[in-house]
Structure 1
Amino acid sequence: MNKLVSKITDSEVEVMRVLWDAGRELPISDIRKTLEQTSNWESSTIKTLLRRLCDKGVVFVSKKEVLYYTPLVSEAEYNEYSTQSLIDRLYSGSAKNLVASLLGSKKLDDSDIKELRNLFKVGSSDE
């Protein structure tokens, strides 16, 4: 699945988010309506992005009375891959270095740090 997810461009992620948010297959008219409200894309651009996603194997298209699109990659799979890719590229695969960077740059406030501490405590009790 990682190979498929790695091929999704930023513009295509916007289309995927519409599909993920819906939680069901969508007709092209609903996808177009949503994207035309949030972007300045023409209908032809949206169709091109959907075709590319289908060609990449991350979206399934079925023809009923109109074309319906269904994501084959979940948002969780995409987020997991993207996070790991970021950690690999920027922090040589070290999540610890990512957290240290966030702490050092003051991107986390006290409540964020407290929440992370609680998450680490829960994680360590599972072992």
Structure 2
Amino acid sequence: MINLNKLVAKISDSEAEILRVLWDTNDELPIAEIRKKLEQTSTWESSTIKTLLRRLCEKGVVVATQKEVFYYRSLVSEVEYSEYNTQSLIDRLFAGSAKNLVASLLGSKKLNETDIEELRSLFKVGDRSERDS
């Protein structure tokens, strides 16, 4: 069984940019398409993109399938990647306490009134689903 946490922990920020392209299309892509999509957000050379894709394949996060050219597909979903990074942040900065994260956001004025109301609604929905179970 693949340890997803180990795989995701090894993804660099640059590699995550490559993954975002794959996640956005939700399909396998040839390097030419990946390069075309990255041109909008980066100035990376083709060799840099190839290196990042090779590293992602070596890490077991992306798979390459050879057809007329290599096609790349992510083996890790954006949700899995986000959940791991969120939990990692909470563990590192807030000793595993999501409550302390929210308190920090509230205390630092990073959330506006609209954000706070949306969170209240989310918490209420969570309460209802637990009570109804």
The bucket for the TM-score relative to the shorter chain is over 0.9
Counterpart-to-counterpart distance in 1, 2:101 and 2:41: 31
Structure 2 unaligned segments of length 5 or more: list them: none
Indicate the residue corresponding to 2:11 in structure 1. 8
Question: Considering only aligned residues, what root-mean-square deviation do their CA atoms show, in Å?
Answer: 0.6
Indicate the residue corresponding to 1:54 in structure 2. 57
* 1:117 pairs with 2:117: no
Indicate the residue corresponding to 2:75 in structure 1. 72
* 1:97 pairs with 2:111: no
Q: Which runs of 4+ in 1 moved over 4 A?
A: none
TM-score by length of 2: 0.94
* 1:44 pairs with 2:31: no
The number of residues matched between the two structures is 127
Counterpart-to-counterpart distance in 2, 1:118 and 1:22: 31
Residue pair 1:59, 1:71 contacting (<8 A) in 2 also: yes
Per-residue deviation at 1:106?
Answer: 0.5
Question: Over residues 61-99 of structure 1, what are the superposed CA-to-partner deviations in whole Å (9 max), with x where a residue is unaligned?
Answer: 000001100000000000000000000000000000000
Counterpart-to-counterpart distance in 2, 1:36 and 1:45: 12
Counterpart-to-counterpart distance in 1, 2:41 and 2:101: 31
Indicate the residue corresponding to 1:30 in structure 2. 33
Per-residue deviation at 1:37?
Answer: 2.7
Per-residue deviation at 1:33?
Answer: 1.2
Per-residue deviation at 1:126?
Answer: 1.5
TM-score by length of 1: 0.98
Counterpart-to-counterpart distance in 2, 1:32 and 1:54: 17
Structure 1 unaligned segments of length 5 or more: list them: none
Per-residue deviation at 1:38?
Answer: 1.4
